[in-house]
Structure 1
Amino acid sequence: MAAPDELFVWEGDWGLPSVNSDCLVLLAYAQFSGAPLKVHKVCNPWRCPGGAIPALRTAHKEALWRPSDIIIHLRKQKYNADFDLSAKEAADSLAFIALIQQKLTPAVLYALWVEPKNYVEVTRRWYAEHMSFPLSLFLPGRMQRHQLDTLRLLRGDASLEASEELEKELYGDATDCMDLLAQRLGTQKFFFGDSPSSLDAFVFGWLAPILKCKLPNGKLQQHLKSLDNLHAFCANILLIYFPNNSAPRSGRSDECRDPEHVPNRRTKQFLSALAALGAMLSYALLTGMVSVQHGHKGAVEHSGLSHPHQDDDEDD
């Protein structure tokens, strides 16, 4: 029997199986279609295929990263959450998914990764606390720049920066999208009846983090909670398909399968820090940035190292 495909996703928190929307979409789609994936919940992208999360490693050792490519691969393996949809329903599903990507996705990215208070107090803090040293120093900042580039691409604006005007526009589009989704869902359990589809996976993936995460700037969350059917829709999916994620966790999770979560973690982190310091001093000596003066009790003469500048990633 062939080994199952392996899906690598960010670990969960806040009562969610993952904190990342793309990961949530894929996890939900796999559940809805019955795909027998081996799921790895991780917090170190460098230990995933291609250094990216989410990622899928197929049974033939091929790697996929884009959610759309992963879903297409699952469909080719006969795991299709849209199998029972009519032609009209399939067309409606594609139209609403495009609407989500155009109107809702930019607002969620902005709320989590660009809005200053939310990013500093929640997003950056969460990822830094769940990563090992030294990744926690620079990787959250690199991730923020990547998300900002994604937002600029979605908006078609290379000079896009955080502002009240941009926030108002993005949140306005997102609330309109939520209203349309709530109207389409109505009193149904899922968007096309009693069985979930890919549209349900996308709606859940992009709404659940906003619904469950406690953000200082919670404008999107306030509107979402006012739409009772969408609120119940997300809660229902969590209850039925992810029952083990009913309670939020604080701090680091035992689910995370990174080296930082094994026994003697503090000792290994300390040794890693010593190794990094040794490498820095070796480089400084080899390049002449630090020179050892003989005959003066081994005094060390510093050349521009008295007040080192922090890396930009640490300031993000």
Structure 2
Amino acid sequence: MDWISPRQLNRLGMLNMNRRNVDYIARYNDRSSYPLVDNKLQTKLVVAEYGVKTPELLQIVRQQHEISHFREMAEDLGGFAIKPAKGSGGKGITVITGRDDDAYIKASGARVDADYLKRHLTNILAGLYSLAGTPDVAIVESLVESAPEIARYSFQGVPDIRIVVFQGYPVMAMLRLATKASDGKANLHQGAVGVGLDIGTGRSLNAVQFNRPISLHPDTGLALENIQIDAWQEMLEMASRCYEATGLGYMGVDLVVDANRGPLLLELNARPGLAIQMANGRGLLPRLRTIEALKRPHFIPQERATFAMDTFAAL
């Protein structure tokens, strides 16, 4: 896989941050819709009305006195995830994958006790992880059991799929794989691997870590060139339906593939990053302009997904 120079990237129509902020986020995202995507609880509630599945909601902790009920609820659970409703970038998310007597086992393998989780809930309510440091709400969700055909490529953490959706059309996608460097999180800035996905088929195109091309996962050692995402059209349609749910014209849709329930929405992002272009080895601008130039937009999510698959498929 050859390195792409800045000049080549410019010719590929790479979208830069200033243009993204002015021409797409500011122009196509009504600020009144931001609370729907900046709050994971609100996101879950609104997308459910449009048939978009999310991990099962087990408990909402809004007040300090409710933390005692969390311990009772979690007593019989093998695994779950605690998330700040208004957190970003994966901050404040604690994933419990199992139990060992009174100990809870984190995704990293570390053992923690109930008091540790209670303190974490207290910190969430205090707003330690919220976007503006304001008081927050903690949500407890069922544990996502990643489909094994995808999970084997990731190091500890659950792999997810980011799809950029513009005016309801899925225009670019990537698979994000956790690494040791990213501490088991699917965050590219922290060292996760980004694998570009062909919109037409869901097959892998290129892979990068820290914006440098790679062909093997640094920890699992597995080749990244022949990954195939199943239920691909279903995932694109789910992402497309989030446009009707939120009204946001430019957003990132983060999905996971659960071994039992299939594709699930993790969260939405009104300010998706641009590293997806590096993972795909091509720019967003030509695709965004193609959608802007449509004289007769498609009004049904299935039609928008089909159009994207046909139009933006890798040659």
- Normalising to structure 1: TM-score of the pair? 0.24
Larger strand fraction of residues: 2
Larger helix fraction of residues: 1
- Give the structure, 1 or 2, with the largest relative contact order (CA under 8 Å, sep 6 or more): 1
Q: Rg: which structure is higher?
A: 1
